[in-house]
Structure 1
């Protein structure tokens, strides 16, 4: 029987909320068993860029990463944010180790081809991009990997890569070795049936129901690609995907956490 592995992605709004982040780290540190944390950088990179006179450019909510912005996001994601999370987890008795995709050649990516938009130094992960041997070495030795949203192309180029995508890629690749559960923690109680009602989280969604909820407009906007990626992960070996509030992480094992997406 394969060991359980939790791959937990924390949203930027939680990172930006110091009190909420403290609560999350307490719950994450107390979660027993194998686990990996994946994070972006919240709004810190945008603020630091502004302090340095560098304009943050976005297209449809996606960051344009030119050379100057790549330096900023690398410093913030793989540096300040990553090491602060590691230090905070160590203070809670959680033996974390901070990693980018370049460390141990753990996650490679390719620079996104230029299409209608040139996203700059943004990385896309291919199916064989995750070195599971490297990551399993850390996990099996009792370390808790904390991955930032920085990867590399194998030729010396760092790349800014979506943290949701990194979490999904890790869950899919490691599902050959572990019973992987992918958990997205953000500021909502789950996938809400009524966006204005925090208590309307849908407990469970199956693939067929997802299409119905999209058609009816219950699931819309940014939640659509998130759930599309989640069901793709389930189809590629991930046991389950959970989406819910960072404050509720302690409810994972009792199966009362947010919304579960299942096969």
Structure 2
């Protein structure tokens, strides 16, 4: 991709399935990474697996729902690398259940991670992008936020909110040369999906049903997602902002 070499990117949820693939792709493109994840051990394992040191990837074990800590991490990462060019909000979490079987405590946790967390990152990172004269933001939402998903009511609401928020920030900061776009994965074979469908025969039936519903006849893999994120982060996407792109094997088609 044009213009990615030596850029600096924040990636949240860096140690998860999709996050690991995003980091791998960015390193291939010679992007330096401020890697954020709540799981410190997983971040260490990620650095080892990728064979990188802190000159290329700075790991920060922090909860994205804590604004004060996120601000500290962003300031520290920017100070270490000297700049910030890209923000990728990838972290997410959910528990599958019909809405009437959920309670407010669960709603709050889902909202805090999937909506408030990205807001915290925008608040902390945007001033650096503005002062630098521009940059790219890629928010990883979900097709659940576009078309709904049974058993994911609050999660869907958060992802729909993230899509609307992204479009608003794209409008507000176009004058600052900041492009904001959204990637919506469809069903992707990650630990989060496995926890959603559950174990045993019933879970396998849901899993197989998802595959049958997808025109390409397979679930997404974590490696299916980073290409579009790298593109939206690159100079090749300089005339794109406020867009929502699904990566779903054709499960959801819009246009």
TM bracket (short chain): 0.3 to 0.5
What's the TM-score, normalizing by structure 1? 0.42
**Higher strand fraction: Structure 1 or Structure 2?**
1
Q: Which of the pair is proportionally richer in helix?
A: 2
TM-score, length of structure 2 as denominator length: 0.43
